[in-house]
Structure 1
Amino acid sequence: MTVILLRHGRSTSNTAHTLAGRSPGVDLDERGRQQAEELVRRLEGLPIRAIVRSPLLRCERTVAPLAAALGLEPIVDERISEVDYGSWTGRKIGELVKEPLWTVVQHQPSAAVFPDGEGLAAVQARAVAAVREHDRRLAEEHGGDTLWLACTHGDVIKAVVADALGTHLDSFQRITADPASMSVIRYTAVRPFVIHVNHTGDRLTPSLLAEPRRPADGEVPPDDAVVGGSTG
């Protein structure tokens, strides 16, 4: 099973440098709307079987052109919604960097709990559970390997990618998820394979999404193979 983790297009909050969180009505800006239209071409030819999205407006707007082109009705899942930043919601980033909690968010995010909101560890738990549940469900519905897309938010994507990489949540700030970027994870019975992180290029093609071939028992890997990589 392969999931494309899509961050919503650029929003009015992104350009205003505020922490949108779950504020209602935060929409895509002009560039974000263009990015949403471009997704149809960027994903053209890929056999996407399902679209799951955060309930927030900026995610709804981002997947609308793609869903129309594919003839799919997006599934809304609260578990991949934006972080509940509590009383930080709507505030200027320039103000928040002066808060003591900002240092915790940057250096020990697993311990960060937003005032009147939720903690980043809880965000990772709910988002990973949602992705894996949709993965299992779609595998059963389609009889095996399936490609699907989840449209969500930057911190949520970074938390899911960190889990797939097997790295501690405290390292998730090393991962980037720009607006309209795509990160691709292939889940297998052995382990997840992180195929792309923060893909902002022209197109994702089927060959780019293929799982690296694993040598058969006794086969010598090619010279450029990474020992201990996808051969496990």
Structure 2
Amino acid sequence: RDKDVLRTFPIIALRHAKAVPADEWDGPDASRPLAPRGRKQANALVGPLLAFGARRIVSSPAVRCAKTVGPLSAALGRRVDYSPLISQDAWEEGATDARTVVGQRVRSRKPAVLCSHGPVLPEIIQELAMATGSLMGSHLGNASGLATGGFSVVHLSTDNPGSGIVAIETHQPPA
């Protein structure tokens, strides 16, 4: 029976790469671009994310998220699905809906990247735990407390996603 649990698919929670600081940006927060370091991080993320078999990309529509997943989208030749449900604007308005986004990805049982913002990531990780019947714990906080350009890979059972999170790996941002 254990072999049924060991076939997994990853859902990758990615925090956008380093953006221009908010106090140095005059426009709307959602239009803040990546800093030069962030552009390097976005390019450096392609290899590691491809290594986990990422095929589907769901991103906050904020420019910094879109530009973070842009190089991955180009490498895959696949479009990005933009979801305001995991945006910082929605979070600030109390209108995020990570449950809907996570639920769709868990039900699909296919590798996916969810690119979002620091304040939204705990909600995404929590919803992954709830969708899979996993116990809450400090490991979930560690998986969601990511630096810009960092990501956590949450491995779920392909045959029985409701059997809980199989493993979580957290990766520091590329230099």
Normalised TM-score (structure 2): 0.74
Alignment of 1:124-135 (within 5 A): 126-135=97-106
> Which residue number in structure 1 is paired with residue 10 of structure 2?
2
2:58 and 2:81 in contact (8 A); partners too: yes
Give the C-alpha shift of residue 173 in structure 1: 8.7
Secondary structure, counterpart of 1:128 in structure 2: helix
Which of 186-195 and 2-11 deviates more? 186-195
Q: Spell out, residue by residue over 1:47-95, the C-alpha distance to the aligned partner (whole angstroms, 9 max, x if none).
A: 2221111111111100111110111111111211115465xxxxxxxxx
Q: How does 1:48-67 map to 2 (within 5 A)?
A: 48-67=54-73
Please state whether the residue corresponding to 2:154 is helix, strand or coil: strand
Q: Name the amino acid aligned to 1:61.
A: K
Q: After the TM superposition, which segments of 4 or more aligned residues of structure 1 sit over 6 Å from their partners?
A: none
Quick check: 1:156 aligned with 2:120? Answer: yes
Distance 1:84 1:69 in 2: 29
| Higher strand residue share | 2
Could you tell me whether the CA contact under 8 Å between 2:59 and 2:81 is conserved in 1? yes
Superposed CA RMSD? 3.0
Shift of 1:31: 0.6
Q: 3-state SS of the aligned residue for 1:185?
A: strand
Pick aligned residue for 2:148 from 179, 189, 195: 179
Larger fraction in helix: 2
**2:135 is the counterpart of 1:166:** yes
Residue 163 of structure 2: aligned partner: 190
CA contact (8 A) 1:51 1:149 kept: yes
Q: How does 1:8-27 map to 2 (within 5 A)?
A: 8-13=16-21, 16=23, 23-27=29-33
Which of the pair has more CA radius of gyration? 1
Do the aligned partners of 2:30 and 2:89 also contact (CA within 8 Å) in 1?
no
Q: Distance in 1 between matches of 2:51 and 2:78?
A: 15
Q: 1:196 to 1:8 in 2, by over 3 A?
A: same
Percent identity (aligned): 28
The runs of 5 or more residues in structure 2 that have no matched partner are 1-8
Equivalence map 1:94-173=2 (5 Å): 117-118=93-94, 123=96, 126-136=97-107, 138-139=108-109, 146-163=110-127, 164=129, 166-167=135-136, 172=141
- Unaligned 5+ segments in structure 1 are 87-116, 140-145, 203-232
**TM superposition shift of 1:201:** 6.1
Aligned to 2:172: 200
> Higher RCO, 1 or 2 (CA under 8 Å, sep at least 6)?
2
* Aligned residues between the structures: 155
Cα distance change of structure 1 residues 160 and 17 upon mapping to structure 2, 3 Å threshold = farther
